[in-house]
Structure 1
Amino acid sequence: MAEIELRHVDKHFGPVHVIRDVNLTVKDKEFVVFLGPSGCGKTTTLRAIAGLEEIDTGDILLDGKPIQDLRAADRDIAFVFQNYALYPHFTVYENLAFPLRAVGTGRDAIDTTVRSVGKSLGITHLLNARPSALSGGDMQRVAIGRALVRRPKALLLDEPIGSLDAKLRETMRVELKRLHFENGSTSIYVTHDQVEAMSLADRIVVMNDGILQQVGTPTEVYLHPANLFVAQFIGSPVMNIAPTRVSQADGKARIELESASFELPPELLGMLEQKKATGDLSLGVRPEGVLVSHDDQPGYRAAEAHLIQPYGGFDIVDLRIGTKTLRARTTSGYVGKVGDRVFTRIAPSQAHFFDTKSGASLDIRLGD
């Protein structure tokens, strides 16, 4: 078992508060991804777990035992850096064997372990090569292998594939997920790339300014963002966000976005009243929740295609409704050209409401 728990962890670099009262439990064999913009505290938190940074206050526990006062070498946690950190004068075999030799492992055990890890990583044919002869992807495999040979309780990875090209990153994402299943280590992975986070994580920890914004499965943080930051950080393209006013009209709820208005189910009014949502509201809707039609239908509003971005299997279309622009996702070629007139509405189940001042989600969920 390898459960990692952070209790009220704080960290300062001088006057800068880098980690702010972080509380988190990473379950045994779970793959958790720390996601957030540069400078949000995710790497510092990872390094604190590894013992590479000292925390100011709080506790870090591994299997229920405090480890914040232990040296990094005594924590049974492996760390994979972004820059590979391989010994250039060693062969791949020697790089993989080094952590085992450092703790006095026997020669036969080293050979068995190195070849086993090399096989699982697909680098057996490279064991006699030096790092200078390897591609970026192969060097990263060796760096990961050097962490895995120790069979650590936990594996920490700090943007390990961030410097690779797009195709190689995709390949390595698949390999990392496979290795996680095969080795069963509790894993924490740091990235600013939401595609990596969504595809790899059992749970995502979204951070900003040293604070945990939301912890949940990829589906939860995408479909039910906890606040405006998460709503706009997760998703590509980002969620449409606009100040809105809600009123009653013809037995339905009417939401007004600058010069555009849409109708939503009347139960929205009761939900807002129940939440005591009397302040400024913001509406959020992802592009796939902005429905587009060539025909004028009840509840749809006329719009003009302002910009079309083809993505191959789908298009992202900016729709101008009066002075307001909404970004919609359509099938490829559905809107022929810029300037075309179409009709649009907001899918009720895709409408999110936030308190504009605090940024918190009101957790209102409507049906279509």
Structure 2
Amino acid sequence: MTQIELRGVQKFFGAVQVIKDLNLKIEDNEFIVLLGQSGCGKTTTLRAIAGLETIDEGDVLIDGKAVQHLKASDRDIAMVFQSFSLYPHMNVYENIAFPLRATRMQRAEIDKEVREIAKVLRITGLLDKKPSALSGGDMQRVAIGRALVRRPKAMLMDEPIGALDAKLREEMRAEIKRLHLKQGSTTIYVTHDQIEAMSLADRIVIMHEGVLQQVGSPEEVYAHPENLFVAQFVGSPVMNVANATVSQSAGKATVTVDGASEGFSFPAELLGKLNGSAGKPLSLGVRPEGITVAHEKAEGFLPAEAHIIEPLGSYDIVDLKFGSQLLRARTRSGFVAKAGDRVFARIEPGQAHFFDTQSGQSLGVRL
């Protein structure tokens, strides 16, 4: 079993603090993705776990043992980087075997281990080839094989498929997930791509400016974002966020976005759940699939003008204008014919999120 824990980790580069009081526990065999924008501290966190960066405060524990004072070579952790870093003069077999030769393992054992890893990675037919003869995806498989062949306690990956084209990235995402399920090793994966995070992770760790924002399953961080940063960082297209006020009208709650002349009708229970925030400026969040669009006027639907239509194959993203406010909605392909068309839309109450505009924190309201 391999558990990794960070307790109160702080890291400075000069006067700049890049990791701020980070606490995180990673369970055995878990696939954790560190997700955030460039400069948020995710790669520094990964390097601190690996022993490639020293920390200024806190503890890094592996299987309950503090390792922050140990060298990288003494932590029994493998790391895969974005650059493949293969030895160009060695063939694939020798590249994978290199870490084992360094431990003076017997030749027969080396051969067994290399061929077993090659079979798992489906590169058995490439063992005699040099890196220069391989595709980008195959080179990354070799780099992963070289890391895995030592059977380390944990595998750390720093944007390993970021340099590949879109099709190869998709293939390698599936390959990395399959490999994790087969090998069952504790894995920590760094990326800025939320699609990678959603498709690979058991849990996603979202960071911003060195601060941990939220930890949860892909479903949790998508459906229940804890703050505005998470709400707008996770999901494609991003969540609509608009300043809004909530009022009471005819026994129901009315949510009016800034610049709109009419408000959306919500169940009256919203007023009670807002705990006194009704009437105050709030931020309303709703994902495009949470807005229903119709061609005919119906109860609860407000008139809107189609502004921009983005055809995305199986569905369209349509910008709807309510007064001066734009909200993006997801519709079936071709449902709105052209920009300028008049349609009607409503926000599904169960898809709405409410945030404190000043702090950005979710108010935890679910209908």
Distance 2:215 2:167 in 1: 29
Q: Which residue of 1 aligns with 2:147?
A: 147
What CA deviation, in whole Å up to 9, does each residue of 1:276-322 have, x standing for no partner? 67853100000001110111000100111111001101000001122
Structure 1 vs Structure 2 CA RMSD:
1.0
Distance 1:246 1:85 in 2: 56
Q: Which residue of 1 aligns with 2:273?
A: 271
Alignment check: 8 A CA contact 1:280 1:357 kept? no
Q: Which residue of 1 aligns with 2:292?
A: 291
1:106 is displaced (CA, Å) by 1.0
Distance 1:165 1:357 in 2: 40
Distance 1:279 1:336 in 2: 38
Alignment check: 8 A CA contact 1:81 1:158 kept? yes
Letter in 2 for 1:307: I
Q: Which residue of 2 aligns with 1:45?
A: 45
Alignment check: 8 A CA contact 1:279 1:355 kept? no
Letter in 2 for 1:258: D
**Alignment size in residue pairs:** 365
Runs ≥4 residues deviating over 6 A: none
2:321 is paired with a residue of what secondary structure?
strand
1:338 is displaced (CA, Å) by 1.1
Distance 2:126 2:325 in 1: 57
Q: Which residue of 2 aligns with 1:195?
A: 195
Matched, 1:238 2:266: no
Distance 1:281 1:25 in 2: 33
Gaps of 5+ in 1: none
Alignment of 1:24-103 (within 5 A): 24-103=24-103
Q: Which stretch of structure 1 is more off in the superposition, 157-166 or 126-135?
A: 126-135
Q: Which residue of 2 aligns with 1:363?
A: 364
2:274 is paired with a residue of what secondary structure?
helix
Alignment check: 8 A CA contact 1:113 1:149 kept? yes
Distance 2:65 2:280 in 1: 45
1:12 is displaced (CA, Å) by 0.4
Alignment check: 8 A CA contact 1:282 1:354 kept? yes
Alignment check: 8 A CA contact 1:99 1:146 kept? yes
Q: Which residue of 2 aligns with 1:124?
A: 124
Alignment of 1:163-182 (within 5 A): 163-182=163-182
Alignment check: 8 A CA contact 2:55 2:68 kept? yes
Letter in 2 for 1:79: M
Q: Which stretch of structure 1 is more off in the superposition, 124-133 or 214-223?
A: 124-133
What CA deviation, in whole Å up to 9, does each residue of 1:170-211 have, x standing for no partner? 100110001101111100000000110000000000000001
Letter in 1 for 2:287: R
Distance 1:319 1:295 in 2: 15
Q: Which residue of 1 aligns with 2:156?
A: 156
Q: Which residue of 1 aligns with 2:210?
A: 210
TM-score, normalised relative to structure 2:
0.98
Alignment check: 8 A CA contact 1:354 1:361 kept? yes
Distance 2:259 2:207 in 1: 34
Alignment check: 8 A CA contact 1:308 1:316 kept? yes
The 1:163–1:318 alpha-carbon spacing in structure 2 relative to 1, beyond 3 Å, is same
